[in-house]
Amino acid sequence: RKGYCVPATWARYLRYMGIPADEYTLANAAQTRKGGGTSASQMLAAVAQLAKQNRRGIKTLTGKITLRRVSASIDDGLPIMWRMYSIGPFEGVGQPAGRMGAESPAAWKAALEPARRAAKQLKPAPDERHMCLIIGYNPLTEEIATSDSWGPEHAEKWYTVEEVQAVCQGEQFFIDW
């Protein structure tokens, strides 16, 4: 509710990498406004300095998110900081971790066809910027897993690649080992 998605997500990532971090300190460093609104460039500058002090680097990915790009990072143990447009038409389309039930990957992939077609209608809301982590992928069903700072019910959500591409802001980050 604080609108701290950027500092909260960076803090989660830094702690995952073994770098002590506090979302409030990061929010202060990036001059996050009450209710949200963090400059990505100010946060990147603050975090880059912290990463460097801990012998890590930050890599920026630009362009389209693909399963190949996601798999390369995730297979190396590196989640991706995903800048996206969250609220609006994208809100509520994520599937929980147990989404497939007893269905085979092939049956589930076929069941996702309406979601893939609907993704073409998603129109990003430029005023509704958000950041979360890409934490996994399923090449058989062509889905991407995310983890959000919004609470336990958002710890793992799955989206089709088409949904992710439709709301992507075009610039992602990861902290290198």
pLDDT tens per residue across span 131-171: 999 999 999 999 999 998 877 888 899 999 999 999 998 88
165 or 90, which is more confident: 165
Question: Cα–Cα distance between 106 and 128 in angstroms, integer?
Answer: 34
State the first-to-last Cα distance of the chain, in angstroms, to the nearest integer.
Answer: 32
Mean pLDDT for the stretch of residues 121-129: 81
For 137, residues 6+ apart whose C-beta sits below 8 A from its C-beta are: 67, 70, 71, 74, 143, 144, 145
Between 85 and 66, residue with greater pLDDT: 66
pTM of the model: 0.91
What pLDDT score was predicted for residue 173? 93
Name the band, by pLDDT with cuts 50, 70 and 90, for residue 96.
confident
Q: For residue 117, name the pLDDT band (cuts at 50, 70, 90).
A: very high
Give pLDDT, residue 79.
96
The answer to whether residue 1 scores a pLDDT higher than 60 is no
What is the spatial distance between Cα 131 and Cα 161, in angstroms, rounded to a whole number? 17
For residue 90, the model assigns a pLDDT of: 65
Mean pLDDT of the chain: 89
